[in-house]
Amino acid sequence: MTGSTPAAPIPNAPEFPDFGSIDSVSCVGAGTIGGGWAAYFLAQGYRVKIWDPAPAAGDKFARLLDAAWPALAELDMVESADRTAWSIHTDLAEAVADTGFVQESAPEDLALKRGLLARIDEVCPPNIVISSSTSGYSMTEMATEAAHPERLVVGHPFNPPYLIPLVEVVGGQSTSAAAVDWAAGFFSHIGKSVIRMDREVPGFIANRLQEAQWREALYMVEQGEATVEQIDRSITDGPGLRWPFQGPMLTFHLAGGEGGMAHMLDHFGPSLKSPWTRLTAPELSQQLRDDVVAGCDIEAGDRSIADLVAHRDAGIIALRRLTASLPAAATGSGRDEIADGQVGSPSSSAAPPPSASMARTASARILGTYSTEVVPEWIDYNGHMSEAFYVLVFGFATDQVMDQLGLDAAYRESAEASLYTVESHIRYLDEAALGDRLTVVPHLVSAGEKKLHLAYEMYVDDRLVSTEEIMALHVDQAEDRVVPFPQAVTERIAQIETSSPDWVGRSIG
């Protein structure tokens, strides 16, 4: 398949609906991806009509929604969201009647997608854009049987689509530029981070990068060069820590020091000829397949798929909150905003910030909760979390509060000032065991010109296991003295509602 650019708008093309007028969307397919899309649309306040011929499709989606809803409530839920506003349909025409948008997420089978997209096109109102969640097929390949291919686009999400902001949007040879623009604008309108691709590329952008790493990982397992656990940890404890802030290109730009990417390429360019990677896929033998499956089982241990999903979602929530609170200059260049019901120029590949909901979270009148899981290193000789690690977790919660108030790492480095805890009182009320998920709820008790009075409640599910009360001062580290907060921080603090749990002010005993 060769790349292509979207076709020019067709004469007398139907006018697509304004974003603000849409109250219902349709999801064709309710598997992992389609169900994830449906959950996200529900959280954005839409009524969702789901088409799936599987007899147990409704039960399967209900289970997915149960798992996804807490994560959506943390980041991407609007006030009007109704988790019950969905219905399952086996009649395709019924599922797309009166819809404002269609997202197809059928299995990755080219013949199936061709026929299904043609059927959706046949029964869907003529002014509705139809988007496909395909992982690798081009719309040029998939739209061959559709009567109106000009309104068919690719809207490629990343799993889980209810939590990962990225959507790659591209049309086929017969797709109108207006349809691609509308789809990119709609995804941006609902809080997604949109890449409007300039041309079709097999596997799109992110999947191609991910696939290259996946093939190399398989080779390393096959050759006995690394275990599954070693490969995963090489990313989670290595470059993966940098990627939420700068992608691979900016990461290598920084690797060049003051000379940037130019120095990096000049200095390390010869290593491109070194045998550091193999870009062709190994033969997926039964032995390699079994070795990879066994390695994942060993790494997962006693954790179920549901446990791993919860752990993954909590990590993504924490990282998205962190990156949303960073100054704009640190997280990306200026992006063209797309207003409600409007789209930018066809040549624009820019998009609004990753999520409107994240912006709402960052400017909320309450402090965000902090969540983490009890790991083996925190367990003492009694089989429960040691008291020292309660302090550690409360410290992580304070770091998050500082980030939300503008006292983040960038501020601490530039201003040479930080928040110092000068007094604290912890109550140990109940035990936390290995694998428990800890949720810390922060309260701003009071604030002064130079100090903060904070209180934290630590929960395992609905069980209160610990509390901490602290007094913290704003210290100029260069001059070693307490100083007033800067005006911008003072204004952020003023936006936070104060609250004082009834246990605040207790003395020991």
DSSP per position, 100-161: S-EEE---S-HHHHHHHHHHHHHHS-TT--EEE--SS--HHHHGGG-S-GGGEEEEEE-SST
- The kind and range of the H/E element at 328 are helix 328-331
> What are the angstrom distances between the C-alpha of 387 and each of 253, 381, 382, 415?
42, 12, 11, 33
139 located within any domain: yes
Q: Are residues 143 and 244 in the same domain?
A: no
Mean pLDDT in residue range 333-340: 35
Q: Are residues 296 and 417 in the same domain?
A: no
Mean pLDDT in residue range 345-364: 34
pLDDT class for 334, splitting at 50, 70, 90? very low
**The tokens of 103 are what?**
């997202």
- The predicted pLDDT at position 427 comes to 94
- The predicted pLDDT at position 35 comes to 96
10 located within any domain: no
Q: Which of 301, 331, 346 is the last residue of a domain?
A: 301
User: Can you give the CATH number for the domain in which 213 is found?
Assistant: 1.10.1040.10
Residue 1 has pLDDT above 80, yes or no: no
- The predicted pLDDT at position 158 comes to 92
Residue 83 has pLDDT above 90, yes or no: yes
Number of domains in the chain: 3
Q: Which of 278, 301, 324 is the last residue of a domain?
A: 301
329 located within any domain: no
- The predicted pLDDT at position 497 comes to 87
- The predicted pLDDT at position 347 comes to 33
**The tokens of 373 are what?**
């899981």
Q: What is the pTM of this model?
A: 0.61
User: Can you give the CATH number for the domain in which 197 is found?
Assistant: 3.40.50.720
- The kind and range of the H/E element at 48 are strand 47-51
344 located within any domain: no
393 located within any domain: yes
53 located within any domain: yes
Cβ–Cβ contacts within 10 Å for residue 195, how many?
Answer: 20
Residue 363 has pLDDT above 50, yes or no: no
Q: Are residues 147 and 180 in the same domain?
A: yes
Cβ–Cβ contacts within 10 Å for residue 463, how many?
Answer: 12
**In the chain, pLDDT over 70 holds for what percent of residues?**
85
Higher per-residue pLDDT: 243 or 212? 212
pLDDT class for 444, splitting at 50, 70, 90? very high
Distance (Å, whole) CA 460 – CA 82:
26
- The predicted pLDDT at position 287 comes to 86
Q: Are residues 162 and 220 in the same domain?
A: no
Q: Which of 187, 204, 221 is the last residue of a domain?
A: 204
Give residue 263's domain range. Answer: 207-301
- The predicted pLDDT at position 327 comes to 60
52 DSSP 8-state letter: -
Q: Are residues 159 and 170 in the same domain?
A: yes
User: Can you give the CATH number for the domain in which 448 is found?
Assistant: 3.10.129.10
Q: Are residues 192 and 214 in the same domain?
A: no
Write the DSSP assignment of 262-306 as a string of letters: HHHHHHHGGGGGSS----SPPP--HHHHHHHHHHHHHHHTT--HH
Judging by DSSP bridges, how do beta strands 130-132 and 102-104 pair with one another?
parallel
pLDDT tens, position by position, 412-443: 888 888 999 999 999 999 999 998 899 999 99
- The predicted pLDDT at position 361 comes to 36
